[in-house]
Structure 1
Amino acid sequence: MLYRIFTDKEAFEEALYSYQTNLSIILAALLLMPFNYLMEVFKWQLSIKSLTYLPFKQATAGVLSGVSLGFVTPHAVGDYFAKIWSFSHEDRKKALGPILVARMSQMIPTLAFGAVAFIVFIQRKPVFDDYSSDYTSWLIPVAGLIAFLLLSFLFIKYGVKNKKWMYYFDLIRKLQLKSVAQLVALSSVRYFIFSVQFMLLLSIFSFPISFQQQFLGIAFMFLAKSVLPTFNFFNDLGIREFSAVLYFETFDISAAPVILASLLLWLINIALPALIGLFFVPQFKIDPS
């Protein structure tokens, strides 16, 4: 399959031509990028507020520099260091806990919609067909995944007794459920912005499938990117393209437009913000202690 995808020169030339004649749609996807990261800035401010108040400008610097350092580090660990170094506080190592919670909150919509997409992919039929038995088949894993994340949070909040770990999880233990719900809401908005961007890029081509099926294909891609083990170099570039092609091929969709849409989404949402974030990295006051 991979050989056929990357040797279909005619399909790629046709896809590139379509993009060149639809620059307004690409511009619309590009204009959504700041709103995408605005949600991440709000999440960072909300998760760290019990430790310190972060002004909007400082929170933005932490988020964008995190994208830059996470771009080239295994499993995006550079994002953790960037956010910790982006503000001054005697106990800033405690920020590890809030960063973890913010990441877990983003996993809830990713796992929820991704589980549905995965089951649809396995069944190879639209989820909105009138098969009542199908709904119960994916409600259980979705509920289980969300319950696992919530239980993990509750365990950290109430079950961790080790003093060393309590130091890092102290801020998690102080988080109110209202704040957790707000983090999940912001994560869900960010997830839908990502999805709308990808659907805009896919809309350049006349796909013979519904918007619901396109959305589930995107959900399948995000799920694969989040759960498959990688070294995160170039932010999992390749996994997202392969997983998207794998899903859409079940609907007889050509690989070329899917790959180009995914690459363009990566350039807009990862490469460009990572480049911008480089300007904030020299501002860090790194304390090796």
Structure 2
Amino acid sequence: MVVLSSFNWSFEIYKWQGLASTIQPISAKASAEQTLGSLATSLLTPNRIGEYGAKAFYFNPSLRKRIMALNLIGNLSQMCITTIFGVIGLSFFVILYDLPLVTKNLNWPQLLAILFGCVLGLLFGLKKLTTTKQSKTLQFLRELPKMLLLKTLVLSFLRYASFSLQWYVLLSLFGISLSFEDAMIIVSSMYLLASIIPSFAIFDVVIKGGVAVYLFGLLGVPELPILIITTLMWILNLAIPAIIGSYFVLIFKQPKTEYSL
């Protein structure tokens, strides 16, 4: 579990190193300090929004807008992977199992109408973004190398795969007999549903725990092992990295001219 958690944050650190290095080269050590330090400072902010400002403080004021934009790209790539696999998993879940919260209140035409509306909204937003008068920050984002964006998506996928695999291993260790396919359908659905609920990162275990108990409960899985697994995942992938990041926050020094590598 510790090894998989290390992979999880190693992918995130490597992803941020690649993004930040487009405007100022940083080492893997500096990327780890910025990634874990910003995690620690963002725990008490809604949806970890404090991470944007925390990472920006590691750089000169003239670079901070672009740093925040790059951080947005990194978070959007992770959300993109979560949404893609979550929609696939939730679709299979609704088809294969009885999901009362959906099937009780919505029929398939309504579900298709909602999906169609979401797609239209996304297309409208993208069109507005491409036709809006360009700012320096927007122009900077458009000029990012396509290979960098692809690499960011790949690293986001590898990170998603690492903590999804953690769930499957923990389920096996607790003697819960689910096939890999069934486990991934539920886990991907859980991460999608939990991601759309506004919350503070420090209470993430409560949100994911509630969603996980409900989804696994539909397959007859007891509540206690799911709550324990959710807590272990929170400790390994959030609490421990945040504690390490707190050390980097304590030794943080505001850069005078440029970030010290």
| 2:74 matches 1:74 | no
Instruction: Say what the alpha-carbon RMSD is for the aligned residues.
Output: 2.8
Q: In the alignment, what sits opposite 1:167?
A: 136
Distance 1:153 1:107 in 2: 16
Deviation at 1:209, TM superposition (A): 2.3
**Preserved CA contact (<8 Å) 1:43 1:186:** yes
CA deviation profile, 1:218-249 (whole Å, cap 9, x unmatched): 1122112211122x151522110111111111
Q: Does 1:210 align with 2:182?
A: no
Evaluate the alpha carbon distance shift between residue 65 and residue 42 of structure 1 in structure 2; reply closer, same or farther with a 3 A threshold.
same
Q: How does 1:52-201 map onto structure 2 within 5 Å?
A: 52-88=24-60, 90-125=62-97, 148=122, 156=129, 158-162=130-134, 166-201=135-170
Q: Find the aligned partners of 1:280 and 1:181 in 2 and give their Cα distance.
A: 30
Distance in structure 1 (CA, Å) of the matches to 2:253 and 2:139: 24
Q: Is the 8 A contact 1:106 1:187 kept in 2?
A: yes
Letter in 2 for 1:203: S
**Cα distance change on mapping 1:36 and 1:153 into 2, 3 Å:** farther
TM-score under structure 1 normalisation? 0.75
Q: Does 2:241 match 1:273? A: yes
Is the 8 Å Cα contact of residues 96 and 168 (structure 1) preserved in structure 2? no
Change (3 A) 1:172 1:153: farther
Taking structure 2 as the reference length, what is the TM-score of the superposition?
0.82
Question: What SS does structure 2 have at the residue aligned with 1:36?
Answer: helix
Map 1:215-230; keep pairs closer than 5 Å: 215-230=184-199
Q: Deviations over 1:159-178 (max 9, x none)?
A: 3315xxx2333431221222
Q: Which residue of 2 aligns with 1:37?
A: 9
- Structure 1's unaligned 5+ residue stretches are 1-28, 127-136
8 A contact 1:58–1:86 mirrored in 2: no
Partners of 1:117 and 1:217 within 8 A in 2 = yes
Counterpart residue number, 1:12: none
Higher RCO (CA 8 Å, separation ≥ 6 residues) = 2
In structure 1, the partner of 2:215 is 247
- Alpha carbons of structure 1 residues 97 and 257: separation in structure 2 relative to 1, 3 Å: same
Is contact 1:105-1:187 (8 Å) kept? yes
3-state DSSP of counterpart to 1:74: coil
**CA-to-aligned-CA distance 1:58-111 (integer Å, 9 cap, x gap):** 111010011101211122012112211123463222211111111110012201
Q: Distance in 1 between matches of 2:81 and 2:72?
A: 16
Are the equivalent residues in 2 in contact too, given 1:114–1:222 (CA < 8 A)?
Answer: yes
